[in-house]
Amino acid sequence: MGTETTAGYDLLYDVIRRRSSIRKLKPDPIPDEYINKILEAGRWAMSGANSQPWEYIVVKDPQVKKDLFRCYTEVNADFIYWMEQQRLFELRHPAYQMTADKAVEQQRRGAGWSAAPALIVVVGDGRRQWGTVQGAHTFGRDQSHLTDGLANTCTLMHLAAVSLGLGTQWVTIHIQEPFKKVLGVPDLMMLYLIIPIGYPAVEPSEGVRRPLEEIVHHDHYDESKFMSNERVIQFLFELRGKTLQTYRQSYVGKEEPKGG
Ligand SMILES: Cc1cc2nc3c(=O)[nH]c(=O)nc-3n(C[C@H](O)[C@H](O)[C@H](O)COP(=O)(O)O)c2cc1C
């Protein structure tokens, strides 16, 4: 018999449930002490063989933030634009369904996440993953101890930020080079993620997740829960209405606009 208290879990679960992606942050500065606390939480993440493949660049300089955001709205957005054109119209990211140029232009004019008082740029050193057994790199599909470890450190930092009353967002980097040039990151390193941090300027969203009974199996994989391709496609369609506000305004289920 343990002490029968779930107080620790309750505290942790509360932080987990309060976290949601905050894509609009106030420009107000945040204490350096908070940034250090977030980094401190991040460095305690799990990683293969404890190889700790992460390093962090804290960006507060307005010009550097602006330069990074320009890389995002130009190179990153162009890349995504062309990738999205390969997909079935209804499954495209909504920002790239809306006869694209208008949405992309709108994104370029705004300050977006560069308005955040601080960014934590997470950089990965792939050489460190060799601390683990060779088999780890050949097992399964696309296994990477580098990105698994990096995702872990990022998750801890997102949670630490929420516990301090701050908001964060996950800014995926698709084409690393322009960002690396701005920051002077060595070629061998991976520029994994940008985490904008600041006080939330919008209410956090409720959050939506698949129910436990749908994703948990007991003793063996329950094949009745295996999603057919049709169901996965239906799931993807439905997701469009549940994540970002702008997704709800997309053309899902409607007709493709003439000339779009
Ligand atoms: C691997 C990964 C990539 C993501 N990429 C982006 C992104 O590029 N832009 C963005 O706004 N959100 C991004 N997100 C955030 C997800 O959209 C978000 O976590 C998800 O919709 C659940 O919503 P929540 O974070 O509010 O709970 C990403 C999250 C992860 C884990």
Ligand 1 center from residue 5 Cα (angstroms): 33
Using a 6 Å cutoff on CB, does residue 155 contact ligand 1? no
What tens digit of pLDDT does each residue of 210-227 get? 999 999 999 999 999 999
Q: How many domains does the chain have?
A: 2
Ligand 1 center from residue 146 Cα (angstroms): 19
Ligand 1 center from residue 170 Cα (angstroms): 5
Q: Which CATH number goes with the domain that contains 184?
A: 3.40.109.10
Indicate if 189 and 243 belong to the same structural domain. no
Indicate if 68 and 156 belong to the same structural domain. yes
Comparing CA positions, the residue from 176, 185, 178, 207 lying closest to residue 15 is 207
Please report, as a single letter, which amino acid is at residue 168.
Answer: T
pTM above 0.85, yes or no: yes
Cβ-based neighbour number of residue 83 at 10 Å: 13
Provide the percentage of residues in the chain whose pLDDT is more than 90. Answer: 61
Specify the DSSP class assigned to residue 205: P
Indicate if 89 and 157 belong to the same structural domain. yes
Indicate if 60 and 41 belong to the same structural domain. yes
Partners of residue 56 on adjacent β-strands: 122
What confidence score (pLDDT) does residue 59 get?
A: 98
Boundary-marking domain end, from 179, 201, 223? 201
Residue 227 lies in a domain: yes
Residue 259 lies in a domain: no
Residue 255 DSSP SS3: coil
Indicate if 109 and 232 belong to the same structural domain. no
Q: Over the range 44-80, which residues count as b (16 or more CB within 10 Å of their CB) and which as e? A: ebebbeebbbbbbeebeeeebbebbbebbbebbbeeb
What confidence score (pLDDT) does residue 110 get?
A: 81
Ligand 1 center from residue 179 Cα (angstroms): 19
What confidence score (pLDDT) does residue 186 get?
A: 97
Comparing CA positions, the residue from 140, 167, 154 lying closest to residue 18 is 167
Enclosing domain of residue 121: 21-201
Using a 6 Å cutoff on CB, does residue 107 contact ligand 1? no
Residue 8 lies in a domain: no
What confidence score (pLDDT) does residue 132 get?
A: 79
Residue 14 lies in a domain: no
Indicate if 159 and 227 belong to the same structural domain. no
Residue 3 lies in a domain: no
Indicate if 77 and 112 belong to the same structural domain. yes
Using a 6 Å cutoff on CB, does residue 246 contact ligand 1? no
Residue 40 lies in a domain: yes
Residue 151 lies in a domain: yes
pLDDT tens over the chain, length 260 residues: 556 899 999 999 999 999 999 999 999 999 999 999 999 999 999 998 899 999 999 999 999 999 999 999 888 888 888 888 888 777 777 666 655 566 666 766 788 999 999 999 999 998 888 877 777 776 665 567 888 899 999 999 999 999 999 999 999 999 999 999 999 999 999 999 999 999 999 999 888 899 999 999 999 999 999 999 999 988 887 776 655 555 444 444 444 444 33
Contact 39, 154 (CB under 8 A): no
Indicate if 159 and 246 belong to the same structural domain. no
Q: Which two tokens stand for residue 45?
A: 């993440």
